[in-house]
Structure 1
């Protein structure tokens, strides 16, 4: 082993790995060298040790002896290593001689959903209600959640609500946030606090973000200006509780609104440090603007809380929040706490069935070494924010808990390598926070899955995802849903896959052919064979029908042994277009599609009402 290979291994970079097809792969030395220069593997002063309630405590560097443990509740007592256990879930401090450790004690399993329930997955901006302000807000979500609950749904999985860039209407992807520690204020709605909200005669099929966001921001500013004393007092309390993190985020949004650009990396040098005198002067000179963005965070928080209350009136689980895998390095988190994030690299995925050319998402992620050095504070805060108003969490690209595909800045997705992440610590934190909020955990275990990940998730009570297009045996044949495993949610698709109708009719193939500028006869022929194979797996006999057998597919997936079946709203309605086409930006209208009518009206349509009755009959949980 060369010194480079040894250094890469010590830093957690994987030179050898296996792709989704089972073929051995090896990372070029030049890539390893570039990536290694971006990492700082300095160890933590205070180790973070994980265990499960009732499990004897063992330290990696001190297997025996008597230590002193101070529980999170404040109780202190001696603890015999290798023998004594801790029965209190949480984060505790252990002292052995002059050495201190953090003990993260998880529950035996995460909370579970009610047996045999069903739910829907929605993109919040796509929803409509009896108003039309250009896109759906948290108030729209609250109304829709009530309607879905009345129809029998036990859960409602929503698109990420992470903070974006309110002054930049071009940055609307929910998976490239400015910060995961705050919420998307452009989903805030004055109607949440009983104030007038926008109405528009226009009801476009696609969201015009460039037009809708500035209009909505203007409405929100008017709401802020008109807010009475009770609102101002509530915001003041919220601001005090939010501390430096909230203040820094509001200052970031205010500065970005003034300067524009891609974020703080484009700002004058004196404004790149949130603690600088220049930033303090800006905050003083633009105090009203900063207060406005604090108000927006409060209003967004109120709106999301109201949506979860509305959901829980009818649903056992309520909202399932979506945790994006990373953040934009030029955003609020990168500005206020830049050391938390990996620098010099972006994250993505190697070539796999979901992205044949690989994926470079152009975002950064939490630095595993800095996480350990800080006691995992940034990750704990991220999970707490996500679960603050939710009955569940879906972890996007949960493979990233164990390893991340990192790509040097400016390189293609294929020129990356896996970086080992502290998966045990991260999953323990998720379990602790889910336990505290009684929330279920869904981990997106799709793509190139590391060996043992799914077994580990099942042991912890974290549900994987079994998605119809991907459930195939080693020979490539579709596996009927009745044979899927019971430790995952059952799904017809995700926001990144074609809808049932779109897949059946090859709409995704048409889109990619249009983007490529040439037809794809091989793709069309291959899809015809796949249709036949899927039909035979579901029905067993005969030729596939010309139109998508939507009702039969929905019902068959409902028969899966999964405790929860989740359907994209597009599939419940039989729509042909998907929310997002992976690997595209402007070529496809990603994150711009809207539902054809208000949620109540859609659910009242006879075919849709029949489907929800069927699902509730099969899955009454």
Structure 2
């Protein structure tokens, strides 16, 4: 078979055959990879010309995406049409030369009836709302790993989050960014990464708190690391006890009715996964008995397994979690946080989870997301998660994406979109292949950015696009044009000579941060805890050279703070990184430097505010580092009131007052 028809099919589907690696070297995807990717997307690579013809006949879905205030036209044989805005207002339109010209100023989801056909319109604003739009000034906030809160029990939950939000509001914060709250796998709590969810449309029931509808929350255990298996079993026991004494609530009935079939199927999946996990392992629905591998047949067969009570329990637990998150957002707003909570939307989901079981047609089954080889991962990365298929988004009028985005914004004043590069392209790897044998797959970025802007306005929320790593030219500018805030993280904000950029030169339409969950906090960076971990894990690289480089970086950091007029003392102990006073001073300076930037929002992870030195997560490691298990050393009110933390909060308030 000639290569040309295959390349034409790849181009039509969005597989980028030619791409540039991190060194600027032009690369080309091999034929075997092209064929494997196309086949996984449901296209026959052995008959590319026939497949191309079929693609030419496919529908574009029923949603027309246009810009508010920009004219567009549609053909009309009858010469007239009627526009219906979502508020019920109607407008009759007449054609000229067989075309009806329309300009709609009001953003929203509207309808155009023309020639006995109804067109759905998404009329989108030019850009998202930003913190300055909503606050009228630059703001600041805190970031926290929700599970790490230590106010009660063995791990944080939504009641802990509400308490932390109240304390943050009292401290003068405008926002509270939290780790993902998406549904994981109750049948396998040790699978605790919040970035490998079972569903992004539902919540993690482990964060539900039965005491929110009566009873007393358990005392904090005091353990520094979470034992997920034991602590999740205890939480499930509390939830089950609450369910079996629950007398009913109209709010639960309304929640189930609003969730409809999608919610009921999620509860059915969790009940089935609980039943089959001892035999097949959790999240392994493709190995279940045949009648239960699809939701349609499983709904018919569920009664035979006697799962009615368990389905009811998981519906109750979802409602309790949703109630808790709503109460947390209400507590945040009542405490004075102008934005409230900022949730986190994972880039993908587990192909063995509830979404993949209930709606596999939405996803790229047979492909895993990842990253091509780079300077840090010579073999590339395969993350074991998948995401929406571009064709499914377009043909489904973007409903799967909109459902997920709305879930993230349902009880929040903002959302962080993880790996925002995926709005334009994702590195996909065929199942069973090496991570270096993947390809970039193009996504309809213009449509997605338009819809994000519309949902931002409808929710009154800001949108952060995580744009770290190797970024294609022009991508950050494209996000900024549409009002998505990029992430500017202190360790990465460097000049071409390696020095730290002055705070005044940071981008304004961005979130300024001292670190992220994947990086050592400032104190850990100063002390070289990340280097210590690489030494312990025998990771590739020269530890002695890294230690020398870190000493130079500490000096450069201090000089940057000094040039910005922030230092109050000479660079003492830059050659003695273990000295507590040196690390504490570095943390103080890092917070002040980030707050001094023109970025519309400064977000300080709680690990940096408290001067902790261990990262929540060490990428690429599963069991050798306690990923997603560390708890904060004190309950949130006491932690924020401690003298050193209180002094840092006072300086943040002075630099970015309400």
TM-score by shorter chain over 0.5: yes
1:53 paired residue number: 68
Instruction: Check the 8 A contact 1:14/1:419 in 2, yes or no.
Output: yes
1:6 paired residue number: 8
Deviations 1:12-37 (A, max 9, x none): 01122223444433323322221121
Deviations 1:228-261 (A, max 9, x none): 24x3x32222112211001000011111111111
Deviations 1:484-537 (A, max 9, x none): 110111111111112111112221121122112787222222222322333333
Residue 441 (structure 2) pairs with residue 419 (structure 1): yes
Instruction: Check the 8 A contact 1:354/1:447 in 2, yes or no.
Output: no
Counterpart secondary structure, 1:311: helix
2:236 paired residue number: 217
Matches within 5 A, 1:560-571: 560-571=597-608
Deviations 1:395-446 (A, max 9, x none): 1111111111111112233221110011112122221112111011111111
C-alpha separation between the residues in 2 aligned to 1:276 and 1:5?
39
Instruction: Check the 8 A contact 1:270/1:278 in 2, yes or no.
Output: no
- TM-score, normalised by the number of residues in structure 1: 0.93
Residue 62 (structure 2) pairs with residue 35 (structure 1): no
Residue 295 (structure 2) pairs with residue 274 (structure 1): yes
C-alpha separation between the residues in 2 aligned to 1:166 and 1:401?
30
Residue 546 (structure 2) pairs with residue 528 (structure 1): no
C-alpha separation between the residues in 2 aligned to 1:236 and 1:148?
33
- Counterpart of 1:178 (choices 198, 202, 206) is 198
- 1:105 shift after superposition: 1.2
1:296 paired residue number: 317
C-alpha separation between the residues in 2 aligned to 1:386 and 1:376?
16
Instruction: Check the 8 A contact 2:80/2:100 in 1, yes or no.
Output: no
- 1:354 shift after superposition: 7.2
Instruction: Check the 8 A contact 2:80/2:92 in 1, yes or no.
Output: no
2:47 paired residue number: none
Instruction: Check the 8 A contact 2:94/2:100 in 1, yes or no.
Output: no
- 1:357 shift after superposition: 5.1
C-alpha separation between the residues in 2 aligned to 1:55 and 1:333?
36
Residue 453 (structure 2) pairs with residue 428 (structure 1): no
368 and 257 in structure 1: CA distance in 2 versus 1, 3 angstrom threshold: same
1:19 paired residue number: 21
2:214 paired residue number: 194
Deviates more, 1:509-518 or 1:316-325: 509-518
- 1:477 shift after superposition: 3.4
Counterpart secondary structure, 1:462: coil
Matches within 5 A, 1:194-273: 194-199=214-219, 202-229=221-248, 231=249, 233-260=250-277, 261-263=281-283, 264-273=285-294
Instruction: Check the 8 A contact 2:171/2:649 in 1, yes or no.
Output: yes
Counterpart secondary structure, 1:363: coil
Taking only aligned residues, the RMSD between alpha carbons, in angstroms, comes to 2.3
1:483 paired residue number: 505
Instruction: Check the 8 A contact 1:251/1:283 in 2, yes or no.
Output: no
Matches within 5 A, 1:492-511: 492-511=514-533
2:628 paired residue number: 591
C-alpha separation between the residues in 1 aligned to 2:114 and 2:22?
44
Matches within 5 A, 1:312-351: 312-313=333-334, 314-351=336-373
C-alpha separation between the residues in 1 aligned to 2:625 and 2:308?
40
C-alpha separation between the residues in 2 aligned to 1:443 and 1:355?
23
Counterpart secondary structure, 1:91: strand
Deviations 1:515-572 (A, max 9, x none): 1278722222222232233333332497572333111111011110011100111000
84 and 473 in structure 1: CA distance in 2 versus 1, 3 angstrom threshold: farther
Counterpart secondary structure, 1:37: helix
371 and 283 in structure 1: CA distance in 2 versus 1, 3 angstrom threshold: farther
Instruction: Check the 8 A contact 1:53/1:87 in 2, yes or no.
Output: yes
Instruction: Check the 8 A contact 1:355/1:583 in 2, yes or no.
Output: no
1:73 paired residue number: 87
Deviations 1:446-477 (A, max 9, x none): 11222322222212211111111111234443
Deviates more, 1:168-177 or 1:519-528: 519-528
517 and 381 in structure 1: CA distance in 2 versus 1, 3 angstrom threshold: closer
Instruction: Check the 8 A contact 2:364/2:388 in 1, yes or no.
Output: yes
C-alpha separation between the residues in 2 aligned to 1:522 and 1:17?
32
Deviations 1:46-98 (A, max 9, x none): 35432221111257x99xx9765443334353276695311222223345557
1:406 paired residue number: 428
Counterpart secondary structure, 1:25: strand
532 and 16 in structure 1: CA distance in 2 versus 1, 3 angstrom threshold: farther
- 1:190 shift after superposition: 1.1
User: How many residue pairs are counted as aligned between the two chains?
Assistant: 613
447 and 238 in structure 1: CA distance in 2 versus 1, 3 angstrom threshold: same
2:51 paired residue number: none
Counterpart secondary structure, 2:343: strand
Matches within 5 A, 1:115-134: 115-129=137-151, 131=152, 133-134=153-154
For structure 2, the residue ranges without an aligned partner over 5 or more in a row are: 44-54, 577-581
- 1:169 shift after superposition: 1.4
1:107 paired residue number: 125
C-alpha separation between the residues in 2 aligned to 1:600 and 1:253?
35
